Amino acid sequence: MRTTIGWRADGPAAALRRAPLERRDLRPDDLAVRIDYCGVCHTDLHALRDHDGAAEHPLVPGHEFTGVVTETGPAVTRFRVGDRVAVGNIVDSCGECPMCRAGQENFCHAFPTLTYGGTDRQDGSTTLGGFSREYVVRDRFAYPLPPGLDPAAAAPLLCAGVTVWEPLHALGVGPGSRVAVAGLGGLGHLAVKMAVALGATASVISRSPDKADDARRLGAHGFIVSTDPEQLDSARDGFDIVIDTISTSHDLSPYLRLVALDGTLSHIGHLGPLTVETMDLLVGRKKLTSAGSGGRPATAAMLDFCADKGVTAEIELLPSSQVNEALDRLRRNDVRYRFVLDMSDLS
Ligand SMILES: NC(=O)c1ccc[n+]([C@@H]2O[C@H](COP(=O)([O-])OP(=O)(O)OC[C@H]3O[C@@H](n4cnc5c(N)ncnc54)[C@H](OP(=O)(O)O)[C@@H]3O)[C@@H](O)[C@H]2O)c1
Ligand SMILES: [Zn+2]
Ligand SMILES: [Zn+2]
């Protein structure tokens, strides 16, 4: 084993504290990555809240990071020491099931290994995430960071970015598409930027009227305040695709009413059981779908697209020592629009 340092939670109410962490010795197809920047995702908050704090499974969040390769296993051919790389929320999959064969490792029938809180497929250990100085990752699940992408602002592309990219792409968003994004946070602001870069017309549906100027600056044409029934009424049936990134459970009806005939609501923010009024689907033959993370081909394509179009996250960069403050502010919706932790203070 090798030792690094990171930010660890020992229980649901506990603040993250700086602690030594163990990483595995490199397998033949592993890379060691010095983590430079790691984004703070709302899923990290959900994980910390749900974490049972069992002593044998401390939680180290963080699943969208960029850094530099510091060491390679003998079978690694795609990377060399010094390469800039990016890693997202999946670090392994079975590689054999129909989903993996189709390049949708995110839907692996044997469940993908998550970057933290996952179970390593070889030694059964619990994975520890990217709020740390070093990660050891199988080469298949590291992506070359295209030149031209700022490594701090690109880190959130690896979870927030690809999570909105796959549905935008799968739903055929392009010139002429009318897209609305519900919830202008980490996922939402990247959905707006990507939809606009794909040639679509984008609007934002938000409960925060003070985000209207930002939405326009990000490229949105429209801004609908979700707490104003008149604004919702006037946008009825107005969008081919609504991407719902809201981080809590909520009534889908107001959002389904905004979907056009034969259009789709992609519900990707809050995961878990929900109740749907089927009349909201029936009237207008509307579709409800979901998505999560991305397969390897889509992740690589998304990075190339972002490099080509100059799409990165709007970030507030903080030293990693301020991780608890970042999490508190994210919980209070006080973020414009992604916190990224600078890990250099862990050296
Ligand atoms: N499907 C996946 O694979 C996947 C991947 C990553 C994240 N997620 C999930 O996606 C969600 C969003 O993540 P994020 O990192 O983008 O979070 P975030 O930055 O906190 O953004 C969430 C946004 O949702 C809106 N919102 C929050 N609470 C709300 C409420 N009570 N009612 C209405 N709107 C509310 C806010 O936007 P406004 O102020 O504009 O209203 C907020 O900015 C989280 O639940 C996260 O776990 C899913
Ligand atoms: Zn995430
Ligand atoms: Zn598989």
State whether CATH 1.10.3470.10 applies to domain 2-157+294-346: no
pLDDT at site 12: 73
Mean pLDDT across the stretch 310-325?
98
Mean pLDDT across the stretch 223-248?
98
pLDDT at site 81: 98
- Residue spans of the domains in the chain: they are 2-157+294-346, 160-289
Helices (H) and strands (E) in the chain, counts: 11, 17
Atom of ligand 1 nearest to the CA of 293: 3
Lining ligand 1 with CB less than 6 A are 41-43, 46, 159-160, 163, 183-188, 206-208, 211, 245-248, 250, 268-270, 292-293, 330, 333, 335
- Taking CA atoms only, the protein residue closest to ligand 1 atom 10 is 269
pLDDT at site 93: 98
- Taking CA atoms only, the protein residue closest to ligand 1 atom 7 is 43
Atom of ligand 1 nearest to the CA of 43: 47
List pLDDT tens digits, range 111-155: 999 999 999 999 999 999 999 999 999 999 999 999 999 999 999
Q: Say yes or no to pLDDT of 53 above 80.
A: no
| Angle, helices 160-170/296-309, rounded to nearest 10 degrees | 100
pLDDT at site 49: 85
Specify the pTM. Answer: 0.98
Token pair, residue 42, equals 């709302």
With the most atoms of ligand 1 within 8 angstroms of its CB, the residue from 187, 274, 328 to mutate is: 187
Cα of 245 vs centre of ligand 1, distance in Å, is 5
Cα of 88 vs centre of ligand 2, distance in Å, is 8
Measured on CA atoms in the order 60, 62, 66, 69, is the torsion positive or negative? positive
Q: Provide the CATH topology of domain 160-289.
A: Rossmann fold (3.40.50)
Nearest ligand, CA of residue 102? Answer: 3
Nearest ligand, CA of residue 45? Answer: 1
Mean pLDDT across the stretch 252-258?
98
pLDDT at site 10: 86
Cα of 228 vs centre of ligand 1, distance in Å, is 20
Cα of 251 vs centre of ligand 3, distance in Å, is 33
Atom of ligand 1 nearest to the CA of 211: 40
338: enclosing H helix or E strand: strand 338-342
Cα of 277 vs centre of ligand 3, distance in Å, is 34
- Taking CA atoms only, the protein residue closest to ligand 1 atom 13 is 42
- Among residues 336, 334, 341, the alpha carbon closest in space to that of 317 is found at 341
What b-and-e string marks burial along 272-309, b requiring 16 or more CB atoms within 10 Å of the CB?
eeeeeeeebbeebebebeebbbbbbebbbbbbebbbee
List pLDDT tens digits, range 78-113: 999 999 999 999 999 999 999 999 999 999 999 999
